[in-house]
A and B are shown apart, each in its own frame.
Chain A
Amino acid sequence: MRLLLLLSAILVGLALPAIARPVSYPDGWTVMQMNDAFSNSLHIHYSPTAKYSVGYKGEYFRVREWQFHGVQINNLIHRWNKPDSQANLYLKSAAGIAYSDQGTFDNKSEAAGFTGIAADWENRRLFTSYENRGIYAGDIDKSFSQKARVGFAPYIGDYGDVHTWLMLQVDHAPSASDELTVMPLVRFFKGADLLEAGVNNNGKILFNFVHRF
């Protein structure tokens, strides 16, 4: 099963040329393949309107060796459009099945889900965001994590150019062995594609890839 998930993620990653927002424009599809210190995930969603999206979420949590497969719904609770900036508040929730192949939980399945809020503010030069998530997977796992980012664009490009963002992310995961980590990362953004790469103070790599259709 784990192999299947990883293969799916790799195939999607290779098949598509690589916007981190969880809701797209009306009638838009999005593929998000994300990898960080804690998990590898694939999220494919469809946005019927600019207010919400719904889709498949698969995630493998490497430390506790369990995976999640389910349906995720992302709601844009509010957007603040200003002349030179934009801010968003989202609610992201998922429900599905957790499957573990670790120790006493070997081959164990549980109903699982997660929920959290995400907020961001950006103009063409500066960016900041905050996101949290509470995960429930019965006996397999229960956790809370949060992360915050600040970033800036060293140059301002026109529509169609490659946009570069330099960012700093702080992750807080109370149940992890490294509760607080800091990660510099770089984001490249062009048209419908976004790619992020970084490495945290413990040497753990982040690699995210998003494509919108």
Chain B
Amino acid sequence: MRILFFTLLTLALFNPSAFAGHAEGHNHSDMTEADMQKTISGIESADHTIVAQINGLVCDFCARALEKVFGKRDEVTGIDVNLDTKLVTIGFKKDVDIDDATITKLITDAGYNVVEIRR
């Protein structure tokens, strides 16, 4: 048990590189085709998209929260969350849209802050 404790302590304090299998903060341009397919599948079928810059996006949980919130909207085909740029791309079906005030409310109600919405 003591060995386990000191092993974990050593890993935590001195050996971060042992776990480093990823480049730091890579962007979509660095992603594999499979990664792109995974994250933008709902966006591909979108008629048009809107991009929102958001504060507070720090983890998968934040991304998942936004996916859940927008996933309930009939107008939305899917969203793509980029944790590096803090940009959320929202894909819409043809001839439908959500106004900026509603998008801002949905994101705020999910616990995050909208900086800017680009159309």
Contacts and interface: CB of A to CB of B under 8 A. Distances in A.
A155 B35 CA distance: 17
Nearest to A151: B12
A25 B8 contact: no
Interface of B: 1-2, 4-5, 8-9, 11-13, 16-22, 24-26, 31, 35, 38-39, 54-65, 68-69, 81-84, 86, 109-113, 115
A154 B65 contact: no
B58 A155 contact: no
Interface of A: 19, 21, 24-28, 49-50, 76, 79, 81-86, 122-124, 152, 154-161, 163-164, 166-168, 183-186, 189-192, 198-201, 203, 212
Contact of A155 (B5, B22, B31, B81): B22
B1 A199 contact: yes
Contacts of A124: 25, 58-59, 83
Contact of A198 (B8, B24, B82): B8
Contacts of A84: 58, 86
Given A166-B19, A185-B8, 20 more contacts: A19-B59, A25-B111, A28-B68, A50-B110, A76-B111, A79-B111, A122-B59, A154-B20, A155-B20, A155-B21, A156-B25, A158-B31, A159-B60, A159-B81, A160-B39, A184-B5, A184-B9, A186-B8, A186-B11, A189-B60
Contacts of A83: 55, 86, 115
Contacts of B57: 86
A85 B86 CA distance: 11
Contact of A86 (B9, B62, B109): B62
A155 B24 contact: yes
Nearest to B38: A160
A190 B61 CA distance: 9
A142 B24 CA distance: 47
Contacts of B39: 158-160
Contact of A168 (B12, B17, B19, B110): B12
Contacts of B17: 154
A84 to B, nearest CB: 8
Contacts of A159: 39, 60, 63, 81-83
Contacts of A201: 5
7 contacts: A21-B61, A25-B69, A25-B111, A76-B111, A86-B57, A154-B19, A166-B19
A184 B110 contact: no
A197 to B, nearest CB: 8
Contact of B55 (A82, A156, A184, A185): A82
Contacts of B8: 184-186, 198-199
Contacts of B9: 168, 184
Contact of B64 (A25, A26, A122, A152): A25
